[in-house]
Structures are given as structure tokens and as C-alpha cells.
Amino acid sequence: MKNKKIITIDGPSASGKGLLAKELAKQLNFILLDSGLLYRAYSYCFEKAHNHSEAMELFSQLKIDGVTGAMAVYEKENNITQLLRHENIAKAASKLSSLKETRNNLISFQRSLASSHGLIADGRDMGTVVFPDAATKIFLIADVEVRAQRRFLELQNNDQGVNMRDLIEDIRLRDEADRAREISPLVPALDSIEVNSSLLTPHEVLNKVLEIYKERIKEI
Ligand code: DC
């Protein structure tokens, strides 16, 4: 039985998944799972811990808030979400996310967010591994140059100095690693629909996905 209350959005970095997921969560009043942020948070813990059980211990002490429209991570009282958006954390997360221990440690937390409230799940393996029963699965792609430009603006707004050439290279390398890894690689689920956001505005992407969602839940 397909779950009408779950929409999965998978795809490479900076394809526009985050913004789309946030807007969908707002429109449909669903909870938001930004799984990339969880992998970043886990990497942040792992750097302090140096082994998986200690990392998991630290991770379980973080407060993760996904109900208010945008996912946020708190360490004690500090909101560390912006810190986790740094490129060095993204690189560490990409490496660590290829390990079985990391993925096993995070899967039950991700699944625990599915409920009658509805869930928008943003990541790489949401439709293939974490929520294979989701009724609506989107695979969002965009040209690497377009993605690098988007990430460039995002990082500049976040006061991180970067240059375009390095960024394109970093995105390429990270995508290759995400696609080539053995466990939970970045691949479209067989029942997903591919949306290319290169030439679309965020509003157009949102409308397209809302249409797909309405069609999908009608079919069930
Ligand atoms: O989406 P993001 O850039 O915040 O994700 C950071 C890293 O986490 C990304 O390089 C790959 C990894 N990741 C993953 O392996 N599986 C997911 N479902 C989400 C992210």
C-alpha cells in the first residue's frame, strides 16, 4: 500500500530540493525532513567523537526541530543549523554518509518522522531506501553550472567566501561520490518522476510538483 502522506524529493546537491521541500511543507502543512542536515549534524558529532557509538550518543543529545516549516538543529540552547551548512561539513558528511554505520544510525530517526501529519522528505535515498512506500517520489535535477550558481549565492549570503570554479568541481566530486557509493547511492527510484529545474523558477517547480502530487494521490 502506497503512503499518500509522504512526498520524497531526491536529487544531487543544489538542485533546488531544499527550497521545494520547504514550500511544499508550507503549502500542504506537512512536516519537513531535511535528511542532508541530519547527515551534516551526525558528521559534526563524529568529528568530536571519532567513533560511531559516541557520535550517536552526541547526536541523540541534539534537539532536532522539523515541525516549524524549516528543520533546525540545536546543541543545548544554540541553534547550529547555519554552522552545519558550511562547505567543510558538507564534504565530511558526503564521506561519512557512504558508511553503513552512519546510515544505519540515522534511518530509524528519519522513519520516525512519518506520521498522519504528512511528511516531505528531502535527500538522496528517500524514495529508494527510507520511504519506499511513498506515493509521490520526485527526482529533482539541474545542470551543474546552474546548481553551482545557486550554491554560490547561498554561501555568499551565509558569509562564506567561495569561487565558482572550486564550487563546480566540489559539486561534481560530491555528486560522483554520492552516485557511486555502494550503500544507498543517489539513484532515482523506479517509480519516481524526474523534474529538471534548470530552466524553471522555484514557483514553477513547486506548481509542477503539486500537480504531480495531486495526480499521484488520485491514482491510489
Ligand atoms: O543535501 P546536503 O548537501 O545537505 O547533504 C549533505 C551530504 O549528506 C551529501 O553530500 C550526501 C549526504 N546525504 C546522504 O548521503 N543521504 C541523504 N539522504 C542526504 C544527504
Ligand 1 proximity of 123 Cβ (cutoff 6 Å): yes
Ligand 1 proximity of 127 Cβ (cutoff 6 Å): no
pLDDT of 68 reads: 64
Residue 5 DSSP label: E
pTM, two decimals, is 0.93
Question: Distances in Å between the alpha carbon of 96 and those of 13, 31, 212?
Answer: 16, 26, 33
Our mutation pick for probing the ligand 1 site, out of 94, 99, 176, 186, counting the most ligand atoms within 8 A of Cβ, is 94
Dump pLDDT digits (tens) for 130-175. Answer: 999 999 999 999 999 999 998 888 877 766 677 889 889 989 998 9
Question: Distances in Å between the alpha carbon of 182 and those of 22, 107, 194?
Answer: 29, 16, 22
Q: What rounded mean pLDDT belongs to the chain?
A: 93
Dump pLDDT digits (tens) for 78-113. Answer: 999 999 999 899 889 989 999 999 999 999 999 999
